[in-house]
Amino acid sequence: MNEQRQNRFRILAVDDESDILELYKLILCPDDPVDGLSSPPPGEERLPFSMVPEFELTCCFQGDEAVKAVDTSMKEKRPFAVVFLDLIMPPGPDGAWTAKQIQKLDPSTNIVAVTAYYGTDLSDIAPGSTIPDSLLYLQKPFHWQEILQFANVLSTKWQAERQLLALHSEMESLVEKRTAALSDTNKQLKIEIEHRQQAQKALHMSEINFRNMINNNADGILILDEDSIVRFMNPAAQTIFGNGGNHVIGRKFDYSIHTGNTMELNIHGDNGKAIVAEMRVMKTEWGGKQAYLASLRDITERKRMQQKLQQSYNNLKEVMNGTIRAMALTVEMRDPYTSGHQQRVADFAAAIAGELDLPPDQIEGVYMAAAIHDIGKISLPAEILSKPIQLTELEVKMIQTHSQAGYDILKGIDFPWPIAQMVLQHHERMDGSGYPRGLSAKEILLGARIICVADVVETMASHRPYRPSVGIDKALEEITKNNGLLYDPKVVDACLRLLTEKGFEFPKF
């Protein structure tokens, strides 16, 4: 029932006579009882309730009150379908003024002008009305069926007009949306066409630039098909192979193809010139099929310079080795009892470094440092070096200065390795008990730790003026007992493997 009431047509009745308003209620709202009116007007038969439409009636006594009711209905979005408006309503404004104000607020409502005067001109009531059929005329006294018929027909018309207006608005909105969508589609299509044109232009320019880049490239460029047949070569490649490359194009490439790897080729052109070229190959396409792009760079001059540099390096290295040997020989001439000691330590230290998988360059540095690790002894008196009895405490301290002395001699020489530092540190110990600076663990260079173990083992295994050789077993016992305490564990393990498993022997001098 509530839902039906919410969907009922709203009717506004405006009359200054309460009896007329009560009659409107009785005719339009038969389900709502009105005090003093419980039956149809005299002599009239009421329609069955099932034939009476559903209306919601609002009554007003004066025109200004009716205008307020219409204004409120518009704000609440519950407009009136029909207004029954009395034209003469003293003492307030008349029906003509009220009709004009209502039409201003709600042009779609249907106004029925009700009057007891004959010959009333409708145009005088609402001159300039834009909707003539929205303003009708009804003469008093009216028949109740006239009121019901006006209410029913005009409400249905009002509803149809609103539905038509909504449909029209919906269609306009749909057309607007479709037009906007079509416009957007056209814009997008235009943008895509412009992008495609730009892409085609860019592709064309890219092809031109690529061709120019290939033809003007200083490196030789070859295109090989999937069977390694040469299909194209740029001018630089023609120069490398000589004779314009005519003997190469259309034939199988003479060299193996490996993508991703850089290879060196020895090329003998038709002009008899030998060229060394660096070649790199990558996969590509040629004529829609898989192919290979080979880039060749003439490195003949670079190889020649590398050979010269290598020869210079070898010569310099030979000079350096000769200098090292001369330094070692100088020490041995002042200490004949330790003749060959530095060389044996150098050989053993290099072997340990190799066992630790050090790079060849580092192994060479360890070898060089070990070959002159005792060069500082050149500053000591010969009688102390060859003294046949146990040294005094003062003499021992003098001997210990040879590490610092060796460093001072070598520090000004620009070796490729830290030779001077390794010579300085070769008597340091892992626990900090060594000399001359009491370094420990990671503070000591790895090369110095290697020379330290090699020096201890060779010294204990060899004869000295003040004692006979204690033997290799005692030497191994010493480094094993102090493994991790005085000596680097990794170096000790490598030393033990060389002497007990791999048969290393010290050379005889």
Rounded to the nearest integer, the mean pLDDT of the chain is 81
Last-in-domain residue among 123, 144, 164: 164
Instruction: Let me know: does 275 contact 300? Beta carbons within 8 Å.
Output: yes
> How many structural domains are present in the chain?
3
User: What does the pLDDT average to over 233-255?
Assistant: 74
User: What does the pLDDT average to over 195-223?
Assistant: 71
Instruction: Let me know: does 451 contact 428? Beta carbons within 8 Å.
Output: no
Cα–Cα–Cα angle for 366, 372, 374, rounded to 5 degrees: 120
Residue 245 and residue 160 share a domain: no
Cα–Cα–Cα angle for 472, 475, 476, rounded to 5 degrees: 90
Q: Classify residue 315: in a domain, yes or no.
A: yes
Q: Is the pTM of this model over 0.75?
A: no
Last-in-domain residue among 278, 298, 318: 298
Residue 393 and residue 266 share a domain: no
Q: At what angle do helices 360-371 and 300-334 cross, to 10 degrees?
A: 30
Is the pLDDT assigned to residue 290 strictly greater than 60? yes
Rounded CA gap, 422 and 151, in Å? 118
- Cβ neighbors of 133 (< 8 A, separation 6 or more) are none
Question: Long-range contacts made by residues 146-150, C-beta under 8 angstroms, separation at least 24?
Answer: 147/24, 147/27, 147/28, 147/84, 148/27, 148/28, 148/47, 148/52, 148/53, 150/82, 150/84, 150/112
Query: pLDDT at position 99, please?
Result: 92
User: What does the pLDDT average to over 118-125?
Assistant: 55
Is the pLDDT assigned to residue 64 strictly greater than 90? yes
Is the pLDDT assigned to residue 275 strictly greater than 60? yes
| 183 compared with 337, residue with greater pLDDT | 183
- Name the least confident of 363-377, 425-439, 453-467: 453-467
Q: Classify residue 276: in a domain, yes or no.
A: yes
- As a whole-number percent, the residues of the chain with pLDDT over 90 amount to 33
Task: State the pLDDT confidence band at 244, using cuts at 50, 70 and 90.
Answer: low
Task: State the pLDDT confidence band at 242, using cuts at 50, 70 and 90.
Answer: confident
| 84 compared with 293, residue with greater pLDDT | 84
Task: State the pLDDT confidence band at 399, using cuts at 50, 70 and 90.
Answer: confident
Residue 155 and residue 29 share a domain: yes
| 163 compared with 32, residue with greater pLDDT | 163
User: What does the pLDDT average to over 52-67?
Assistant: 88
Is the pLDDT assigned to residue 446 strictly greater than 50? yes
Query: pLDDT at position 357, please?
Result: 96
Rounded CA gap, 144 and 24, in Å? 8
User: What does the pLDDT average to over 38-53?
Assistant: 48
Is the pLDDT assigned to residue 120 strictly greater than 60? no
| 491 compared with 42, residue with greater pLDDT | 491
Q: Classify residue 407: in a domain, yes or no.
A: yes
Query: pLDDT at position 274, please?
Result: 77
Is the pLDDT assigned to residue 378 strictly greater than 60? yes
Which CATH number does the domain housing residue 73 bear? Answer: 3.40.50.2300
User: What does the pLDDT average to over 406-410?
Assistant: 93
- Name the least confident of 16-25, 257-266, 427-436, 472-481: 257-266
Residue 405 and residue 475 share a domain: yes
User: Which tokens sit at 318?
Assistant: 């030979």
Is the pLDDT assigned to residue 1 strictly greater than 70? no
Residue 230 and residue 149 share a domain: no
Question: Environment class of residue 349 by beta-carbon count within 10 Å: exposed (0-12), middle (13-18) or buried (19+)?
Answer: buried
- Summarised one tens digit per residue, pLDDT across range 311-339 is 766 666 676 666 666 776 666 666 666 66
Residue 270 and residue 133 share a domain: no
Instruction: Let me know: does 455 contact 406? Beta carbons within 8 Å.
Output: no
Q: At what angle do helices 360-371 and 341-355 cross, to 10 degrees?
A: 160
Alpha-carbon dihedral angle through residues 382, 384, 388, 394, given to the nearest 10 degrees: 180
Residue 32 and residue 157 share a domain: yes
Task: State the pLDDT confidence band at 190, using cuts at 50, 70 and 90.
Answer: confident
Question: Long-range contacts made by residues 259-262, C-beta under 8 angstroms, separation at least 24?
Answer: 259/283, 259/292
Q: Could you list the residue range(s) of the whole structural domain that residue 23 is in?
A: 2-164
Question: Environment class of residue 313 by beta-carbon count within 10 Å: exposed (0-12), middle (13-18) or buried (19+)?
Answer: exposed
Last-in-domain residue among 298, 318, 352: 298
Q: Classify residue 172: in a domain, yes or no.
A: no
| 460 compared with 211, residue with greater pLDDT | 460
Which CATH number does the domain housing residue 264 bear? Answer: 3.30.450.20
Residue 362 and residue 234 share a domain: no
Q: Classify residue 457: in a domain, yes or no.
A: yes
Residue 368 and residue 347 share a domain: yes
Query: pLDDT at position 499, please?
Result: 92
